[in-house]
Amino acid sequence: MRELAPPAGGGIPDDDGFLLVPPRDTASERRVIELARKVRAATDLAPLWVASEGRNLLRIQLGDHLAADPAWLGVALDPALVSVAARYLGSVPLLWKAQLWVSPWAERDLAGRLLEHRYHCDWGDMRQLRMLLFVEDLTRDHGPLTMIGARRSGELRRTLRYSFDEEDSALTDEIFFSAVSRDEQRPLVGPPGTVAFADTSRCFHQGSRVLRPGLERVMVMFQYVTIASFKIDAARLARPPFAHLAAPRHGRIERLVLGAE
């Protein structure tokens, strides 16, 4: 990690736990945006609604796509981005998930229940990062991932006696905003090509509150974890999901991010 991300330099503020990086217009990012749009256009969302657990966050798995075009790994292994993750996590990050997130406007789920977009914290690790590449313009109306800073979230967990139990981890607005001002919300918005880093374990967050019919939030999501992640048992850690994508062209740091070393 020290080799990849020396202590000097910018990064994710520890009190925030999130960071927005303006579009850099790299060849890999342009290509991934193009490919992501094609994946979205070719995907029937109906089966994804069934697996979405009553939410309008629909996840398209990108594992096969990563193997088909090097641009995907060009973004996921970009040293400038991986170094941000390494500096924040305190270790070389391990790439654990690659998905296209699609959030279409909707008021109800397939069963007719009103959709709820509750604030919560993920329990996968003490720290983890979602790196999000915006595929389309993302405004406040598109249901952006909306954060409460990490330090403030820690205070709120103590105040609310927050539980990470699956049944109790999502808080209604009534409960949540009894303890925090709405002015403390930080929506992660920007044009296509924007990259957002978000620690969804330390930070309370919500998203997919798309405000108008016809709007849709589309983002490429790469999840980076550490080898201490609570959700990774020894058997899965021995076979990281993207280790097989390591190629002779990849250096040691890239092989570590893929889990091949």
Model confidence pLDDT, tens digit, residues 95-134: 999 999 999 999 887 778 788 889 999 988 899 999 999 9
pLDDT computed for residue 168 by the predictor: 66
Q: Can you tell me which residue has the tokens 């981005």?
A: 81
Share of the chain above pLDDT 70, in %: 97
pLDDT above 90: residue 78: yes
pLDDT computed for residue 116 by the predictor: 82
DSSP 8-state class, residue 120: B
How far the first Cα of the chain sits from its last, in Å, is 14
pTM: 0.94
pLDDT, one tens digit per residue, over 150-207 is: 999 999 999 999 988 766 688 999 999 999 999 999 999 999 999 999 999 999 999 9
Name the CATH code of domain 18-228 (choices 3.30.450.20, 2.30.30.90, 2.60.120.620, 3.40.50.970).
2.60.120.620
Phi, psi of 223 (to 5 degrees): -100, 130
The Cα 170–Cα 122 span in angstroms is 10
Q: Are 88 and 197 in contact (CB under 8 A)?
A: yes
Coil vs helix vs strand at 253: helix
If you compute the radius of gyration of the chain from its CA atoms, what whole number of angstroms results? Answer: 18
